[in-house]
Chains A and B, each alone.
Chain A
């Protein structure tokens, strides 16, 4: 498995990271090295093994579905790069 330049660009697009064309060859090489190295897992027999999804060997705890926090828009918005009233502001997305 080796990534071609178009695939690297597609991954960058999916990851929402702008990728300059001149940075592409080096990144492609690095990603292919890493993927080639992790390819060793294909030799492990995982037949019938249940995947381990979490770090704790316990069922996730549930709690009552009630509001326990909130009601302070100024604190929530304090780090906003841009805001309009009590809202986060972004460039226009609907014409």
Chain B
């Protein structure tokens, strides 16, 4: 079935003309039409544009000048501005916003021939770990617990991107990750996802949440497919002042390096009291696979791990309160009229933002306000420096770290909704790498006792995504994860 192919397989088949880009795209357009009503993975679908892009890919393939992603159908997180295609950030605030420009990451995917199926669902302004805060409704995780029909969350914030790839209605997708928003949904949906080093992908044209943490990345069903996608998405961009001017290596080649001779660190602080036994078992299995493949396993310490989340929930809301000040009802987005200009701002923002976004803006406003800045924000920035230092010291001893991606498998819609902090704890294993700006990848490694996928996280040195891919590939090969979700194309 065409929808079960990997990107690497499909790209080779398209070059052999086994099938056309139009056929491949039509299969996915039909799959989206059939399943999106239930999954709600896409906020906006663009089938006509997708087929036109597929025709252009077929022409390029025939002419022999096709890019590496020619004819590959992707989902684009609805946080990336796409020229002429509505970009909502899953917020009422931007419900009718049509960008007059294309984000750098998506323009590079288009440059390389990709086909865009539409814009995928997310937590509002990427603030959430369940996709439950979307103003366009929740996303259903394609996976089910054994013997249960309960609707599970796909994780978040990039929940639609992960669910679409898992359900085989897209071959790959883009995401953004501020504290775990690529890695946690990848784990919940049984697919691979990488957040590269901060500065590796341009943030230009991505709706901003927390600018010192936001980083674009990709999802696919295999590590090699993620390598191909990241090769297109990454690269220097003068329009983003934090974009780093370094060459983009051949990531696909890096997946074939193996781990012989590498030193893999196991951070002691990630072994938490009351850890889910399935997660613990899988973590040990992952370490055994790496050892068998020739790596040396080394115990390391990241002593400030336990402060990662609290630090994150000061730094990220502070930056969000500043970034989201732009939504004032004047230049674009929702406007609710008021008695005067201040009243217009206040009514617009009360109506346009959902509860979680308001909470974070208010926390951020408070920790930046006069009299509290030093006690909260400045202290958090200092703890962030200590967290970075933990990683720097660990990477003096090891080449990469292996940890679980999330404390559990997917949970049900409606669970963890009453207490914001219970939701925040989902990101306990992913937030520290975000604070340090280092690359992290989630690889599907097995199923828990309920039949739900679990991921292992590989964390690498800054700008050493190649080692992350090498280690992730060994885990993927050893895990031989072939389970498929209940809801998928062709079922």
Contacts and interface: CB of A to CB of B under 8 A. Distances in A.
Interface of A: 3, 8, 11-12, 14-20, 27, 30-31, 33-35, 37-38, 40-42, 44, 46, 49-58, 60-61, 63, 72, 75-76, 78-82, 88, 90-91, 93
B198 A34 contact: no
Nearest to B363: A34
B349 interface: yes
Contacts of A72: 100
A38 B376 contact: yes
B340 interface: yes
Given A55-B198, A55-B437, A17 B349 contact: yes
Contacts of A53: 212, 381
Contacts of A41: 307, 310-311, 314, 376, 379-380, 383
A44 B314 CA distance: 15
A86 to B, nearest CB: 13
Contact of B346 (A17, A44, A55): A17
Name which of A35, A38, A57 has the most chain B CB atoms within 10 A of its CB: A38
Interface in B325-353: 325, 328-335, 337-347, 349-350, 353
A49 B198 contact: no
A16 B345 contact: yes
A81 B337 CA distance: 10
B344 A91 contact: yes
Contacts of B386: 44, 46, 49
A80 B338 CA distance: 17
Given A79-B100, A80-B332, 5 more contacts: A14-B365, A16-B342, A34-B421, A57-B462, A90-B341
B199 A52 contact: no
A73 B362 CA distance: 34
A51 B381 contact: yes
Contacts of B437: 55-57
B395 interface: no
A34 B462 contact: no
28 contacts: A11-B362, A11-B365, A15-B321, A15-B365, A16-B342, A17-B346, A17-B358, A18-B343, A18-B346, A18-B347, A20-B350, A27-B362, A30-B359, A31-B359, A34-B421, A38-B380, A41-B307, A44-B307, A49-B386, A55-B198, A57-B437, A58-B244, A61-B245, A79-B331, A82-B335, A91-B339, A91-B340, A91-B341
Contacts of B381: 51-53
A8 to B, nearest CB: 8
Interface residues of B, number: 69
Nearest to A10: B369
Nearest to B437: A55
A52 B388 contact: yes
Contact of A90 (B96, B330, B363): B330
A17 to B, nearest CB: 5
A90 B212 CA distance: 32
A46 B380 CA distance: 9
3 closest pairs, A vs B, by CB? Answer: A51-B381, A79-B332, A81-B335
Interface in B210-232: 211-213, 215
Contacts of A52: 381-382, 384-385, 388
B98 interface: yes
B97 interface: yes
B177 to A, nearest CB: 12
B313 A34 contact: yes
A11 B369 contact: yes
B420 A34 contact: yes
Nearest to A53: B381
Name which of A31, A63, A79, A81 has the most chain B CB atoms within 10 A of its CB: A81
A17 B244 CA distance: 36
B310 A38 contact: yes
A11 B98 contact: no
Contact of A17 (B314, B353, B388): B353
B395 to A, nearest CB: 12
A54 B362 contact: no
Contacts of B333: 79, 81
A51 B350 contact: no
Interface in B372-420: 376, 378-386, 388, 419-420
B152 interface: no
Given A15-B361, A49-B385, A60 B241 contact: yes
Contacts of A50: 382, 385
B366 A31 contact: yes
A27 B361 CA distance: 12
Contacts of A16: 325, 328, 342, 345-346, 349
B242 interface: yes
B459 to A, nearest CB: 15
B329 A81 contact: yes
A58 B340 CA distance: 44
